[in-house]
Structure 1
Amino acid sequence: MFNSKYEKKQFGLKVLKLLEGWAGRDEFEEVQDTLRESPEARALYKKYVNVYSTLKEINISSIPKIDDELAEKIIEAEKRAPAIRKCRQEKEKQGCLIEDVHYDIPKRQYSKSSVIAFVLSAAAMLAIVLILTFADRTNQSIRAAVVEDALNAQFSDSSVSFSSGDSIWANNKVSLSEGYIELKTPNDVLITVEAPAEFDLSKQSDLQLDYGRIYAKVGDQGIGFTVHTDNMRLIDLGTEFGVYKDKKGWTEAHMIKGKAAFISGNSWLKKAKRELTKGKALGISNANSDAVEINPDPEEFVRSINSKFKAVWRGQETLDLADMVGGGNGLGTGKYKSGIVTIKGEYSDDIKEFESVTTEYEDYLAVDSLPFIDGVFMPDGGRGPVKVSSQGHTFSGLPDTNVRYRVGVLNGAYHPRSGKVLPHVMTLQGVKQRYPETSAIYIHPEQGVTFDLEKIRGIVPNFRMSRFTAKFGLSDSIFNDAVFAEPEKWQDKSGFKSIVCDMQVLVDGKLRFEVNNQTPVDKPVDFDIRLNPKDRFLTICSFVPMGKGAGNAGLAMPLFVNPKLHLDSLK
């Protein structure tokens, strides 16, 4: 791939600039193209990164950037250097004779890259002096990162505030007292910080963490990104990782993906280097220079935030639809025993609004108060095709029903007071479906709810929803006399097949799954539905077809247990 030593040297300098955070977009793309095309370049790249990380291991400060004007001056100074004087030793034991020796200095051509390489290798002492003199002043003018998002962020200095698009400058200490902040460096490193935390970026590729929790997702351009504490350094080799540091000196590093060099010890004489790989975690205290293996906890760190939806994602692999019915974002922020009043198309956390029974019919109602709920409807096919989305999707496969339902779709397996039925936690096969251990949507027959998958995708960027899973069943708490103001006195619950309910799952108005004639004594049905990236609306509904149920539709208590959307990384 390399046709000359010059090309190889140029490639090495570009890699160094990338690692040091000096490279521009064009240089980054040139390195990327070279790596794609050349096995030789990829091998060299690995060597450069290993050398770079080894130098960082002994805590050598970064070499300051040398500009073109300085390079030209060095070349000219060398050309104009005076003749040297040569010392000649006589055979006899005589004193050293000094004589003038004139050398014709040929006009040689120097490339800028050769001069820079020469300075980097031969002028180390000069570099140290320059670092001590100028590094802080230079770095303070470097935009080390840009704020991507902030959620409930408060800072120790009340005069400080950051919002999306604001710059974080090098060597400026940031003390986050509450909330979360998400940063992105020019080198494609996404950093999420959780309060309380104090940190600063010395440049685009180095973060000093005094205390707190940070999570870093490092792109290809950011390889070599380093997190420092007072007792360890973690040098990235293409990873996702979390670092925690408390105020007493205990530090943890959790590797989520890829690998990194973990360098422990607060003295260069007592440093140890280990490789930290996916699924592993190390901890170290100030009192000990040796790191110890600890149990990894992938969900300890906030990986991304979304202030629009008030979402704090810690790496959960599913989103909870019941939580969204309760006004949440699928990550546990919803309220138990709250939901959607179907006849109004509105969210409510007043349980009394869910106690009445109605026979009123309304066409599809959009639920504007909940960001991830598209709308609610009554699945009565006796009136013709039923509208099941705000975009006009209809479904003609629904039966005629008597449109008699308890008003609302609830977050939780909780039955409100209604008629002679007392408020209670419902059961499936005799087991109480308690919140929050069990997630559930209670959706009494003749009701349906549609979720907006497009909006839900915005909660966790760079992930796709691959599946929808849940368990459908009818509560058998109706066989418990204690839940009735006037006990029903069931003689033989196994004989009560008259309490039946059907359910359907639709995607964009098309049937994907259904259950017919479910009863309280039947085993709940598990289902798993594949979702495509272009699927927009997910609908669930329950109903009792006309002629079924022998008038006992009011005792059917359908539950969708653990209704989850499963997340897969786009990469």
Structure 2
Amino acid sequence: VALLELEIPTLLREQELPDAAPATRALGAELEDSEACGRWSNAHNISFPHTESPNLAPPPVVSPIVPSAPPSAPFVGEFVFSYMVATVFMCLLLLGFWAYKLPSDRGSSIASNENSRGRTVFGEDSPHDRPAPVFVGHITGIAGAKWSDEPNYIAPMGVRVALGRTYKIKSGLLEITYHSGAKVILEGPCTYKVESVAGGFLERGKLTARIIHQGPAASAAGAKPQAVFIVHTPTAVVTDLGTEFGVEVDENGDTTSYVFEGKIVVKAGIRGFGDSGIREVQLGAGESVMVGRVRETHHNSTKTETVHFTHPTTPPKFVLVFPRLKRNYLDLADIVAGGDGFGDARDRGIDAVNGRVVLSQPRDMSVLSGLHGDTRYHAVNELPFVDGVFIPDGGEGPVQITSAGHASSDFVDTNNRTWNLIWAGQIVTEYTPKRTVSCWLGNANYAGRRHSVLTMASNKGITFDLDAIRRKFPDVRLVRFTAVAGNTEMRSANPQAPRVSADLWVFVDGSLRFNKTDINSADDGFVVDIPLAPSERFLTLATTDAGNGHSFDWTIFGDPRLKIISKINDRTSGIHETQPSHAASGKEGAPIK
């Protein structure tokens, strides 16, 4: 009954039948009022009298008894619930990023916006559709290369050489080594495009190529066979047949080819006009040919352009060996010891009396005492960079100091006597017990591993042939001679001993450039820094005894070096030099303290 009492008014109210009888609607309203009153009276324990209806007896009012239920407890704690919400949020966020990065049509959607990636031409392929670059080699050498400053040219980044890449250099050298083994040296100004895995297009400049073909043994070992190397130019096609050759293209596009070793085939033909009328010639070692343009005018006044072969009177000069300077100086001590100046050879010397090379110091040092010269200049034939040696003695008149006849009258009278050798390293005066000549000047021991020294007891001279060095290293320029020179004798430490002193001399082509006289260990060392001109040929170092005898004079040249720069870039090479001495910051001729 209670359930019916609660549901009837609601049912009548929700349905609101339009055709319901007025009595029915009145009954629903009355029942609804009775419901409200019943609930309020039950809540406040108040009874209301029922009004009587003329047609219907008032229904009994029964209040429903609804038991009060306790509030339900949450299924998780507040902290755990918050943590779960945050976790779900982060998962959704990561899912959104993933959906942004990896949709299959993202490339096309980006490409559809022409301004978003710089696309300005209708129909241009999307960057995502371009093939990956193919690398055919590496840049294995750069010497003073300056990239083109053309506004539309972008200098390459990295050392890998990609197919289709164009290299434009204003000056200097660039070496490319292909994966096939071919080495190409580009000499600026030059424009070269990598067109294949074994060749390219030389638009302008000089190119030297060396191709090493794999032999049967290499092929059997699993190496890939060497492909031919082809160089295209505006007027020719140069194909190697296992060789070393050079190609030069001038501003007009004319091509000159020269073979150093092996053979090449040169085909004449203007690039872009097909192969009609192409002629070819095969060249061997020492042969050269030039392919030039010829403009012809026909009877109907039409002009055509063809190419023809000529033999140049003077083949162009090419760089065959890429210059790789080990350091930016030549060590004269290494040269005296038999090296080329770039090494660290030591413990060899020259007998200044006769020019003979000495490979080791004798155990009996008495054989090197009291040596007497013959007033002659002696060539050192065993050392290509040493012109000769001599015993300076002003008492006999002018002393010859070069093979070209340069002489000096500046030396004192030395009685033409000396002792020991011109030695690259430290001289041993006694073996039992072992005693050596001191090589200390200032705070530096020039017999140490970070330095070098030429030990020259007084009354000796040595001349270096600078032209011979230039011929050996044509890509470098000799710019100056530097050293720290002094007398390391120890006799002056005894105030009762007679005075010991010596003189130092440096000549260039017979002209005196540096001189310090009457010096001993109290004077420490002197910085020598002498510029060298390209036309100067001879560098002479000499010591004399200051007129008081040669005993105990231990004169040395510490870190004797010829500073060099590369002719290619005309600046100091990038090889870091080991800080040799105080000469780096000292003033020429000034003592170091």
Q: TM-score range by the shorter chain?
A: 0.3 to 0.5
- With structure 2 as the length reference, what TM-score do the two structures score? 0.43
User: Which has the greater radius of gyration?
Assistant: 2
